[in-house]
Amino acid sequence: MNEKPNVYMYILYVLWQMKTIGVYTKNFSLYHDVLKSLRRRNIAYVSLSSINHIPSKIGVILTSNNELHDIKSQKVIAVDAYDTIDHAVDLALQLLIGKELYAQVYIGIDPGDKPGVAVVGDDILLQKTNVESPEKVVTMVKRLLREYPATETLIRIGHGSIITRNRIINSLIPLRVPIEIVDETKTSASQQKKRYLRDSEAAAAIALVPGGKVQCRLPLEPTRGDIRRIQEESRRLTDGKFSISQKRALQVLNGTISLKEAIEREKIEK
């Protein structure tokens, strides 16, 4: 048969073959936070009460840095040694998949105040998340490039939020990874979902849509509409009490200060 393999069936096969994450720690607070992260992301796990007899189905163990050397397993991750629990969980999933090099990795970015970022490797959604600000996107992308090495890597970013998008693109250009701008009109997630979920899901969709190649750094020249949008957002965040000035709105658009900082400074001056 020369039919192209069914991607969905392949994913099911991979999941069936994959082993499970084990969680072992006597640190109750860490244990609670790890389980919260796993449940939120619908990731299967097994709570381990002892490390003397680890079930064969356990492929990697999440634990604390203090207990790391107590576990005689090659695949152990100290959760509290990473910047976030989700980061540690991402690494655990990577170890379970057991893939050292991908043929193609697409990194999708949904630009905004808290951009959504997703990575798709060989047609498998490897992770999706949000970052705190546009300036943090480059740090996240650098991490993804290290964790998901590939023969071909491509960054795709949604066309909306022009100034924010251009700031993100300009920060990524030095990485020397091809960048495409994607029409994100048809990638928006359901409005019924929380904003951070919509942004990360939109990023996953953007990763799979071909776009126009970025050839050089892009201009950071806000339009009147961009300034007005930021001012309207500041009025919403202050419950209609006031809007920030055009000068402050320009600073927000250029990435000099955050919208929250602009509102606080405006409060002090009023």
Q: Are 75 and 59 in contact (CB under 8 A)?
A: yes
Superfamily of domain 102-213: YqgF/RNase H-like domain (3.30.420.140)
Task: Name which of 184, 154, 185, 180 is nearest 169 in CA terms.
Answer: 180
Number of C-beta neighbours around residue 170 at 10 A: 17
Q: How confident is the model at residue 73 (pLDDT cuts 50, 70, 90)?
A: confident
Task: Identify the DSSP state of 106.
Answer: E
Task: Give the C-alpha distances (Å, rounded to integers) separating 88 from 45, 61, 72, 91, 193.
Answer: 14, 11, 19, 5, 25
Name the segment(s) of the chain with CATH classification 3.30.420.140.
Answer: 102-213
Helices (H) and strands (E) in the chain, counts: 9, 10
Which pLDDT score, from 0 to 100, does residue 194 have? Answer: 52
Is residue 77 over pLDDT 50?
Answer: yes
pLDDT tens readout for residues 9-18? 455 455 555 6
Contact in structure between 119 and 105 (CB atoms under 8 Å): yes
Is 7-97 assigned to CATH 1.10.3470? no
pLDDT average, residue stretch 134-140: 92
